[in-house]
Amino acid sequence: MKTLSVTDTFDLSIPERIQLVEDIWDTIAVEPDSVKLTEGE
- For 1-41, the pLDDT digits (tens) are 678 898 999 999 999 999 999 998 898 888 777 767 777 75
Q: What b/e sequence results for 2-29 when a residue is b if at least 16 CB atoms lie within 10 Å of its CB, and e otherwise?
A: eeeeeeeeeeeeeeeeeeeeeeeeeeee
Question: What pLDDT shows up at residue 15?
Answer: 97
- Taking the CA atoms of the chain, what radius of gyration do you get in angstroms? 13
User: What span, in angstroms and rounded, lies between the C-alpha atoms of 12 and 8?
Assistant: 7
| pLDDT at residue 34, as a whole number | 72
pLDDT number for residue 1: 67
> What is the model's pLDDT at position 27?
87
CA angle, corner 36, sides to 20 and 29, nearest 5?
Answer: 35
Phi, psi of 6, rounded to the nearest 5 degrees: -60, -40
pLDDT number for residue 14 = 96
